[in-house]
Structure 1
């Protein structure tokens, strides 16, 4: 089992860990990880591992069996032995941009309050696919509403509910095709705003900025028709 340090602190840029296992494909499993594994439309993290006499470039991170997180090297290289203490160093600039885009997509689902059928997160832009038979009449108004939410500097926090609580209130799930993973006893919720100022609450396992103002200005890109009912809405970081 790998302890997901990124879950408690998405701003952790480096940390020590011990090597638990090496995979047949050349991946490294640690006992604790600041690297987020690919999931929920968010790419896996990259960075480096260093140890006495060694250094390894990590190209991406994926989920393994059970609660394992596997760090995948960019190319074949000497690996640290099981039991070795290593230093994890995150490609922070890349991760932070992913956090900004991911949080912006949560806000996009607020200004377009329709069921979501898919999504993708990148360092420059992201997109959501909506159950939207007709194109929005005023894209500029949507962009203005999105940037207004960003400028409100709302707090982004998380909470946990039980599997049973989620099943009792399925309205908080915005995705049509994929239900949040259950079976672990609890599900993580990401909340934007507090109390009467709360604007969004939905299950999500990804990494996010702490306040919406960190996202910076965004622009809406193309609205593309994808099938009879679906339309894809893209957003782009302005800086």
Structure 2
């Protein structure tokens, strides 16, 4: 049985550079390695970008996408010379962009705590993001929500991960906040992101993305105008300070 590629983006989210070996090329000009530092597009979070370096050259990685179970395809610019299959490569992230994604993603988890309504969609960007809520009426005091969100961020709560079985998730459907995207199934277990610990815990939900280690890393957040996106859907956008 072929061993699944190592998801370094998950096990070591602060790692900026790592070595790997090329397993294959794809028809669209992508590279598959035995370990991926690059997060693949998914769950509203964009795929990482950066560069690949090997003995004979280098290539820009413009996007990372999922491929099969646990695999990641690193897409390069058009007409790029690819590292040969079997070659040792060094992966280097566009760290500034990735770290903004980590901060934004964690901030959106906390936004879902501040607005305890079903989430119908979301998008993460480099320093800005949004969640869509099943919200018939807009909140009366957005400034109060923003202040409470920043107060929670400033508490410097620890962010950690846990794993449960798919059966345990099915027995606890309240853990899932998103109505539009279901947690991935078929691997036997599901990853949970926990914010806070013990008496300080404020959030626990399934998520496969990258996050900061402590909430204070997010920094100040501003909530923008609440947009009407349908009869019961409203979009809440945030921007990092």
TM range (shorter): over 0.9
Match of 1:90 in 2: 93
Is the partner of 1:16 in helix, strand or coil? strand
5 Å-filtered alignment, 1:142-221, equals: 142-221=145-224
Match of 2:58 among 48, 55, 66: 55
Is the partner of 1:113 in helix, strand or coil? coil
Is the partner of 2:190 in helix, strand or coil? strand
- Listed one character per residue, the Cα deviations across residues 60-87 of structure 1 (whole Å, up to 9, x for unaligned) are 1001123220000123211011100000
Match of 2:27 among 17, 20, 24: 24
Match of 1:8 among 6, 11, 34: 11
Contact 2:20 2:33 in 1 (8 A): yes
1:223 and 2:226 matched: yes
Match of 1:128 in 2: 131
1:74 and 2:77 matched: yes
Deviation at 1:178, TM superposition (A): 1.8
Residues paired across the two proteins, number: 238
**What TM-score does the superposition give when structure 2 sets the normalisation length?**
0.97
Runs of 4+ that moved beyond 4 A: none
Match of 2:119 in 1: 116
What CA distance in whole angstroms lies between the structure 1 residues aligned with 2:27 and 2:220? 44
Q: Which runs of 5+ in 1 are unaligned?
A: none
Which stretch has the larger CA shift, 131-140 or 72-81? 72-81
**What TM-score does the superposition give when structure 1 sets the normalisation length?**
0.98
What CA distance in whole angstroms lies between the structure 2 residues aligned with 1:169 and 1:186? 14
Contact 2:192 2:206 in 1 (8 A): yes
Deviation at 1:124, TM superposition (A): 2.3
RMSD (Å), alpha carbons? 0.7
Deviation at 1:167, TM superposition (A): 0.4
Is the partner of 1:222 in helix, strand or coil? coil
Deviation at 1:105, TM superposition (A): 0.1
What CA distance in whole angstroms lies between the structure 1 residues aligned with 2:7 and 2:69? 13
What CA distance in whole angstroms lies between the structure 2 residues aligned with 1:199 and 1:178? 22
Is the partner of 2:46 in helix, strand or coil? coil
What CA distance in whole angstroms lies between the structure 1 residues aligned with 2:133 and 2:238? 14
Match of 1:141 in 2: 144
Is the partner of 2:143 in helix, strand or coil? helix
Q: Which runs of 5+ in 2 are unaligned?
A: none
